A and B are shown apart, each in its own frame.
Chain A
Amino acid sequence: SQQGEEDPQALSIQEGENATMNCSYKTSINNLQWYRQNSGRGLVHLILIRSNEREKHSGRLRVTLDTSKKSSSLLITASRAADTASYFCATDVLSGTYKYIFGTGTRLKVLA
């Protein structure tokens, strides 16, 4: 079963708009990571946020984490056509084993 579930499953926006995708998970975590995957290729690590952090920025990316709600969001500002990809969250479980489980992903399409 999936630890993380992304929402929405698919998102289509115009270039220049902001894109927000959400991730909900089931168990307590050490950290949560976001990845991007272009068209069936390998995943690219975007950002890692630890359980004691609430917000983190990296360029046009902003990630928030709410451990009380077991949820995270990824905001991409001023989106570009090159941002078209699938986005996944990955969470570990607080067992110290660092086994990372990926969510179902959000397919983002940015229209030029």
Chain B
Amino acid sequence: KAGVTQTPRYLIKTRGQQVTLSCSPISGHRSVSWYQQTPGQGLQFLFEYFSETQRNKGNFPGRFSGRQFSNSRSEMNVSTLELGDSALYLCASSLRQGEYGYTFGSGTRLTVV
């Protein structure tokens, strides 16, 4: 059974650019959540999707957005990148909305220069 796949693994972008990260959940999992992890702030909740609907959103500016497709794959987009957006972005999927625990991907390491 394939795990949660996140692409790309590493990314270097310039301030002001935009970036799209992809997450393919475990087959059959309909809930996908995104987290940002930085040394200073720890794991911060970005948003959660269930059956293509955004159910929950964290306290991030509108530059952070996401979506989920009918096959449960999810993307998140960050526009007008800032240096502070440098982080490990983690995607997690669950059979139901986290009720039975999440399976995490290995993350995308984004560096903004």
Asked if B56 and A99 make an inter-chain contact with CB atoms under 8 angstroms apart, the answer reads: yes
Q: How far is the CA of A103 from the CA of B45 in the complex (A)?
A: 11
**Residue of B43, B45, B102, B104 ringed by the most chain A CB atoms within 10 A:** B43
Task: State how many angstroms separate the Cβ of B109 from the closest Cβ of chain A.
Answer: 8
When the two chains form their complex, are residues B45 and A100 in contact, meaning their CB atoms are under 8 A apart? yes
The total of Cβ contacts below 8 Å across the A-B interface reads 61
Count chain A residues whose beta carbon lies closer than 8 angstroms to a beta carbon of B. 24
A98 with B104, Cβ < 8 A, contacts A43-B90, A43-B92, A88-B43 known? no
- Residue-by-residue, is B102-113 near A (CB-CB < 8 Å gives 1, otherwise 0)? 111111010000
Q: Which residues of B contact A48 (CB under 8 A)?
A: 100-101
B46 to chain A, nearest CB (A): 11
Contact of A33 among B4, B101, B105 (CB under 8 A): B101
Taking CB atoms, residues of chain B closer than 8 Å to A88 are 43
Is A104 within 8 A of B42, CB to CB? yes
A2 touches B42 (CB 8 A): yes
Chain B residues, CB < 8 A from A78: none
Among A31, A100, A104, max chain B CB count under 10 A is at A100
Contact of A40 with B88 at beta-carbon distance under 8 Å, contacts A92-B98, A99-B56, A100-B102 already known: yes
